[in-house]
Structure 1
Amino acid sequence: MLYENGYDNISVYDGGWYEWLMHDDYPVQVGDPASADCQHTTVGELPTGKAAK
Protein backbone atom coordinates (compact mmCIF):
# COMPACT_ATOMS: atom_id res chain seq x y z
CA MET A 1 0.00 0.00 0.00
CA LEU A 2 2.83 2.40 0.84
CA TYR A 3 4.66 1.72 -2.42
CA GLU A 4 1.42 2.36 -4.33
CA ASN A 5 1.18 5.78 -2.67
CA GLY A 6 4.69 6.92 -3.55
CA TYR A 7 6.59 5.92 -0.42
CA ASP A 8 9.82 4.13 -1.30
CA ASN A 9 11.93 4.28 1.85
CA ILE A 10 9.86 2.03 4.13
CA SER A 11 10.52 -0.83 6.50
CA VAL A 12 8.44 -3.18 8.60
CA TYR A 13 9.48 -3.15 12.24
CA ASP A 14 8.03 -3.40 15.71
CA GLY A 15 6.39 -0.12 16.61
CA GLY A 16 5.51 0.77 13.01
CA TRP A 17 1.92 1.82 13.66
CA TYR A 18 2.92 3.61 16.88
CA GLU A 19 5.58 5.56 15.01
CA TRP A 20 3.19 6.32 12.11
CA LEU A 21 0.74 7.84 14.60
CA MET A 22 3.32 10.43 15.62
CA HIS A 23 2.81 12.33 12.33
CA ASP A 24 -0.51 14.18 11.93
CA ASP A 25 -0.16 14.53 8.15
CA TYR A 26 0.43 10.83 7.38
CA PRO A 27 -2.37 9.06 5.47
CA VAL A 28 -4.49 6.30 6.99
CA GLN A 29 -7.27 4.10 5.70
CA VAL A 30 -10.18 3.31 8.00
CA GLY A 31 -12.24 0.24 7.16
CA ASP A 32 -12.22 -2.53 4.61
CA PRO A 33 -11.03 -1.28 1.19
CA ALA A 34 -13.62 -3.54 -0.49
CA SER A 35 -16.43 -1.90 1.49
CA ALA A 36 -18.38 1.24 0.71
CA ASP A 37 -17.60 2.34 4.27
CA CYS A 38 -13.84 2.63 3.62
CA GLN A 39 -12.50 6.11 4.37
CA HIS A 40 -9.16 7.77 3.65
CA THR A 41 -7.99 10.42 6.06
CA THR A 42 -4.89 11.52 7.96
CA VAL A 43 -3.60 10.63 11.40
CA GLY A 44 -4.51 14.11 12.64
CA GLU A 45 -8.15 13.55 11.67
CA LEU A 46 -8.54 10.23 13.51
CA PRO A 47 -11.21 10.55 16.22
CA THR A 48 -9.65 7.91 18.53
CA GLY A 49 -6.64 5.69 18.85
CA LYS A 50 -4.08 8.41 18.24
CA ALA A 51 -0.92 8.05 20.28
CA ALA A 52 0.05 10.92 22.57
CA LYS A 53 3.06 12.91 21.44
Structure 2
Amino acid sequence: MLAPNKAWVTDITYIQTGEGWLYLASVMDLFSRKIVGYFMGAQSYKNTK
Protein backbone atom coordinates (compact mmCIF):
# COMPACT_ATOMS: atom_id res chain seq x y z
CA MET A 1 0.00 0.00 0.00
CA LEU A 2 1.28 3.43 -0.94
CA ALA A 3 -1.20 5.62 0.98
CA PRO A 4 -3.52 5.45 3.99
CA ASN A 5 -7.22 4.58 3.61
CA LYS A 6 -6.76 2.73 0.31
CA ALA A 7 -7.33 -0.75 1.75
CA TRP A 8 -8.82 -1.94 5.02
CA VAL A 9 -9.11 -5.42 6.49
CA THR A 10 -11.59 -6.65 9.09
CA ASP A 11 -11.65 -9.31 11.76
CA ILE A 12 -14.34 -10.64 14.10
CA THR A 13 -13.31 -12.18 17.41
CA TYR A 14 -15.68 -14.13 19.67
CA ILE A 15 -14.89 -13.93 23.38
CA GLN A 16 -16.63 -16.30 25.78
CA THR A 17 -17.46 -14.74 29.16
CA GLY A 18 -19.29 -15.95 32.24
CA GLU A 19 -22.41 -14.17 30.97
CA GLY A 20 -22.26 -15.37 27.35
CA TRP A 21 -20.45 -14.35 24.19
CA LEU A 22 -18.90 -10.95 23.49
CA TYR A 23 -18.21 -9.94 19.90
CA LEU A 24 -15.32 -7.71 18.81
CA ALA A 25 -15.20 -6.54 15.18
CA SER A 26 -12.22 -4.42 14.16
CA VAL A 27 -11.13 -2.55 11.02
CA MET A 28 -7.42 -2.04 10.29
CA ASP A 29 -5.81 0.26 7.71
CA LEU A 30 -3.23 -1.77 5.76
CA PHE A 31 -0.90 1.20 5.19
CA SER A 32 -0.53 2.33 8.82
CA ARG A 33 -1.50 -1.05 10.37
CA LYS A 34 -3.58 0.90 12.92
CA ILE A 35 -7.10 0.07 14.05
CA VAL A 36 -9.37 2.69 12.47
CA GLY A 37 -12.66 1.41 13.88
CA TYR A 38 -14.22 -1.26 16.03
CA PHE A 39 -17.51 -2.55 17.44
CA MET A 40 -17.87 -4.54 20.65
CA GLY A 41 -21.12 -5.90 22.00
CA ALA A 42 -23.15 -8.80 23.28
CA GLN A 43 -24.78 -9.21 19.84
CA SER A 44 -23.03 -9.63 16.55
CA TYR A 45 -22.96 -6.60 14.24
CA LYS A 46 -25.40 -8.35 11.89
CA ASN A 47 -28.05 -8.29 14.64
CA THR A 48 -27.64 -4.63 15.66
CA LYS A 49 -29.42 -1.62 14.19
Q: Which has the larger radius of gyration?
A: 2
Instruction: Provide the TM-score with structure 1 as the length reference.
Output: 0.21
**With CA pairs under 8 Å and 6+ residues apart, which has the higher RCO, 1 or 2?**
2
- Structure having the higher helix fraction is 1
